[in-house]
Amino acid sequence: MVKKNSCRLIFLSFFIAMISIVQLGCAQQNTGQSGVEQIGVQYDVWPGVTATAKADTEKGVNETIDFFKLMYGVNLNRHVKVVLVADNSSYKTALMQETGATEIEAERRAKVSVAWSSGHTIVRNTAQANDQLNNIFKISHEMVHQYQDQETGGAAMRLEWLAEGMADVIAAHVLDRVQLMPMMEYKRMAQATIGVIKNPPSISGLGSSVGWNQALESYGSAVTYRSADMGVLLLVEKNGLPSLMEFLRDLQKNGVLADSFQKSFGVDIKTFEQQYDEYLHSLVRKAS
């Protein structure tokens, strides 16, 4: 009888120990290195944000998630916090509070942006460009950055113009999906924006974050972003939308930017940038 009870106790202890190990493993899996406890999107809505702005944001997020799932077979595998604010002062505060930006950096970003993605957080100033088209476009752009970070661990930003242009182009496809702006109209708008600038920025200078930020200060957001957009649109017209994900995956795999660009888009990056600069100047000549 004693032996039988001992066996039961041993079995019970073993069973409890196994449950503890499984629970610990699940906790580690759910928490991960970043301390994130769940997968999905959490909204933090600050005072003054309208119900319409929040609804537009949710629609943009969901449509972008669907786009990546349908086009690339990629799911959102991280927790994303979307912070919505209603004025410029709150935007600067949220940038410092949520992304760790210094006051000087938050001030600079507030001058050149209405939304920002950092880590697992997106901050959006709904006081600026607050209509359905812009609300969906802006949040979709930032969600693309979340996927870029997810798929490459941040390596996509090593080529700033491609990362930003990809975010815009996919956001434009989302606008097309929800019937707010056809892709051809978006392309015409991008061409028209660049065409009025006598000396457009060289795309090779938009590759680094330093060069990108300098262009934002010199040319403004519209010209800088549309210059990147047209480069990505040309790559997509030649190689298709799948090439963008191929680039991210290859960059994550081998880490060599020039090799991944060549493999994914079939052209040397320096050659493409030179040809594209000539194309930008041709748009200016046509406009004049």
Residue 8, CA distances (Å) to 2, 15, 22, 271 in order: 10, 10, 21, 73
pLDDT value, residue 25: 36
Count the residues in the chain.
288
pLDDT value, residue 257: 96
pTM (predicted TM-score) = 0.86
How many Cβ atoms from other residues are within 10 Å of residue 27's Cβ?
A: 10
pLDDT value, residue 37: 58
pLDDT value, residue 31: 38
pLDDT value, residue 9: 45
- Token pair in block for residue 101: 């930006």
pLDDT value, residue 17: 42
DSSP H helix total and E strand total for the chain: 12, 4
* CA–CA separation, 131 and 64 (whole Å): 18
Residues of the chain with pLDDT under 50: 1-36
How many Cβ atoms from other residues are within 10 Å of residue 228's Cβ?
A: 28
* CA–CA separation, 248 and 261 (whole Å): 9
pLDDT value, residue 222: 94
* CA–CA separation, 171 and 50 (whole Å): 22
Strands 40-45 and 115-118: unpaired
| DSSP letter, residue 122 | E
